Structure 1
């Protein structure tokens, strides 16, 4: 027992020395302290994300637990605990969270099948169009004038535009958690979400121009549309030609998994940058990169390792060679691109969902007027997306409709843009934030129930 007490006292002394030294560093270099604090916050966020995974024991997707955990720690300030508040504005945390959603969409692209998405091209297009037109019309011409009378036409335009957004990251994470990413419903939602983002970009650009100049020309709309389409088509066509060449030439330097991993990440980040460069969301570029690399076999990397493995495992026993070769081939086949990038996803993706939850301000709901508006507008906003499932064809239309429902970070981008232009008031902004919160938190559990029920009944 004395030894234990002595050991404990040494631990306390050590911690005290660390804190004293830390305070000196803080005073000497605030920048270094900001970076060091980010290390601690990231560690805490990752551990809390894994603890929140307990929600899977009650049949819900892990993403819901991460969002709720983020909401919990992000609102501790209401209890007088403000230790987490600096993390909300820490530039390092913000960057890592943004990188998280880029990595997530890249993973989704890697796991998606271009051929399968082509098969659902028409339904995805119809779902996207209805999922944009219906919420925009409801927000601009029904919800706005009815629930928020007396505002400018530009305010109603931005409200409608905000309701058109779809946060594919949240839905895609649910599909991935439940291992249904290759289902027809998931492919339709993913394809529709890409088209939805393009249409949303066009609407955002148009209403922003109207709010700024009072008018927008048809040529401006045409150019925005053309840029988006050219990027998506160009990324797939050019990328499928460039990726194999890059793989071949870089394999001459090194054929290990480190080089293969570097190619994957480089393509992801370059495509995300190119998308941002022409005004698209970086996540669209990351998704396109994943689709491109999903078709690349990286043969120049696999063959040298494969030959070495075959020689090693076959040995001098010729009778076992065929079976051992088959086992080696199977092992290499499993070591695919998705497996290679998965550890990166385990690190960055939970940070995005925890951070998204941290941005939720629960005290917004303390205002009864805002709460009532938020609930009514959320119900109508959900209906505007769910109705899009009608055009999904012979699949589970409820899954497709609910898959398009969450607004997430995309809706917030629309709201922030409108507020910066001075056409979205504080009240409307609070309502929009509440709608984003509700659609983000409601969708994962409902979607989980629908998918499990469909699997149970074999449809």
Structure 2
């Protein structure tokens, strides 16, 4: 499209788009929607169809879309990915996140170290590739696709929100930590050429900068939210902004999200991590208290702010679900070197490596029975009646479904894996084309196997996971406590309940 100009300045000349281009775009979005519906019916993972459409319309196969359109859709798809993760931060249970942070760290470390170790075992010791090749490919496979994780969990059931379960919280936080570790390692990969050419480069700062930036963001964000931003928001902004409802919320959400993205990017952390922290930061700002009983409806509407999640649903859920999210998964298809995958040696090596990489994430699920065994053993020692506690064996057996969900949901590598391995190929001299294609085989197949497995599992045992006493959906004790205390202060103990209203409030938590 040509630019026009004259004495008054330069502008973009407007003209009617070509009918071929218009029909191409319409067909692209139509097939994205149809493929999502079809593969969701077959595999319970609609993203697979969108990746396939990206393969066909993009450079790897038919190259139907113009290259500048593909680049635009890749950027829009990344915005969709940021919104997916931002929504995850808005909806995650912060109380469960705090309670299970140690467990999430253990799961994340297992999910990072196992793929790298097995990559060295197969590529270096088995297939004879160089150690740096094994490290680069293992780093690409140690990540977990945050976007895929959120999409699969959110679309698994219309009746159950698995992000509100304990195992869902552990899964999301472990996936976030995996990608933080992947960012640290990709910073090393990004600088490998410079390290090879210039021995004086400060390797410690290259490795330490993303660690320091991510750690400071993770520590300072909740502290600022709890002691500074939260109290100021509730005191000065909450009631005035409540009058504007969604309008004030969307402006605040945009400012906070952009601020976190900029801080994370310039500090050396991941923008994906920044998007997640932005959502979690916003979710901690509003008051959690419910209004006392007997408050009139119009008074209650004046005192309660519109939740940020409701604003997200109001303004962003439609564009995200039907435009940005499909473009994100299609952009993954744009980046797959499909033709190069189909040579004899690469196929069998890629399949073997895929199986190994599936196993490397499935083992993360072992933290669930291990945690159950430790908890059961601790409870058995501290509790008086042994017959009221499950044995360690029963505790481990009861947690098979949550453990399988944790392992299978972390299998998908997706966008992060493709990004890392392409940096290794294009920006370092160490990764050969053969090792690159073997790694891509594993990334692509894992991104398919993971969502399909999660869909089948949740179809068979979704209700069992949601209702599990240890790993299922947990009530929100803070809101219940505040309301119960207000009621008991106003009306006194309920004579019909054993122990009175305050005792019932304690029991309900």
Bin for the TM-score computed over the shorter chain: 0.7 to 0.9
Question: Which residue does 2:488 correspond to in 1?
Answer: none
Q: Deviations over 1:142-178 (max 9, x none)?
A: 11124431x4332222122222111111011100112
Q: TM-score, normalising length from structure 2?
A: 0.70
Q: After TM superposition, which residue ranges in structure 1, 4 or more long, deviate above 6 angstroms?
A: 26-42, 323-331
Q: 1:415 to 1:56 in 2, by over 3 A?
A: closer
1: CA distance, partners of 2:203 / 2:262: 28
User: 26-35 vs 95-104, which deviates more?
Assistant: 26-35
Q: Deviations over 1:258-299 (max 9, x none)?
A: 232121122122212211112222111001000011122289
**Pairing 1:367-382 to 2, within 5 Å after superposition:** 367-382=343-358
- Structure 1 position 230 matched with structure 2 position 210: no
**Pairing 1:113-262 to 2, within 5 Å after superposition:** 113-140=93-120, 142-149=121-128, 151-178=129-156, 179-209=161-191, 212-213=194-195, 221-239=207-225, 241-242=228-229, 245=232, 248=236, 255-262=244-251
2: CA distance, partners of 1:42 / 1:355: 15
Which gives a bigger RCO, structure 1 or 2 (Cα 8 Å, sep 6+)? Answer: 1
Question: Which residue does 2:413 correspond to in 1?
Answer: 407
Q: Residue 246 of structure 1: CA displacement?
A: 6.8
2: CA distance, partners of 1:348 / 1:217: 37
1: CA distance, partners of 2:241 / 2:283: 21
- Structure 1 position 391 matched with structure 2 position 367: yes
Contact between 2:133 and 2:430, CA under 8 Å: does it hold in 1?
yes
2: CA distance, partners of 1:334 / 1:423: 46
Q: Residue 432 of structure 1: CA displacement?
A: 1.8
- Structure 1 position 343 matched with structure 2 position 318: yes
Return the match for 2:48 from 50, 54, 64. 64
Contact between 1:110 and 1:337, CA under 8 Å: does it hold in 2?
no
Q: Which runs of 5+ in 1 are unaligned?
A: 1-24, 304-319
Q: 1:56 to 1:246 in 2, by over 3 A?
A: same
1: CA distance, partners of 2:339 / 2:87: 35
SS in 1 for 2:164: coil
User: 284-293 vs 328-337, which deviates more?
Assistant: 328-337
Return the match for 1:83 from 40, 43, 64. 64
User: 203-212 vs 121-130, which deviates more?
Assistant: 203-212
Contact between 1:113 and 1:294, CA under 8 Å: does it hold in 2?
no
Q: Residue 58 of structure 1: CA displacement?
A: 4.1
Contact between 1:67 and 1:441, CA under 8 Å: does it hold in 2?
no
Q: Residue 50 of structure 1: CA displacement?
A: 2.6
2: CA distance, partners of 1:43 / 1:280: 37
SS in 2 for 1:98: helix
Question: Which residue does 1:266 correspond to in 2?
Answer: 255
Q: Residue 334 of structure 1: CA displacement?
A: 10
2: CA distance, partners of 1:45 / 1:260: 33
Question: Which residue does 1:48 correspond to in 2?
Answer: 31
Q: TM-score, normalising length from structure 1?
A: 0.77
Contact between 2:32 and 2:50, CA under 8 Å: does it hold in 1?
yes
1: CA distance, partners of 2:262 / 2:26: 27
Q: 1:176 to 1:212 in 2, by over 3 A?
A: same
2: CA distance, partners of 1:331 / 1:222: 41
How many residue pairs get aligned? The number is 411
User: 35-44 vs 261-270, which deviates more?
Assistant: 35-44
User: 126-135 vs 61-70, which deviates more?
Assistant: 61-70
Q: 1:171 to 1:349 in 2, by over 3 A?
A: same
SS in 2 for 1:424: coil
Q: Deviations over 1:321-370 (max 9, x none)?
A: 94777799999679834423423423322221122223334323321211
Contact between 2:76 and 2:324, CA under 8 Å: does it hold in 1?
yes
Contact between 2:246 and 2:311, CA under 8 Å: does it hold in 1?
no
Contact between 2:210 and 2:267, CA under 8 Å: does it hold in 1?
no
Q: Which runs of 5+ in 2 are unaligned?
A: 6-10, 373-398, 469-509
2: CA distance, partners of 1:101 / 1:35: 31
Q: Residue 213 of structure 1: CA displacement?
A: 2.3
Q: Which has the higher helix share?
A: 1
Q: 1:46 to 1:265 in 2, by over 3 A?
A: farther
Cα RMSD of the aligned pairs, angstroms, is 3.8
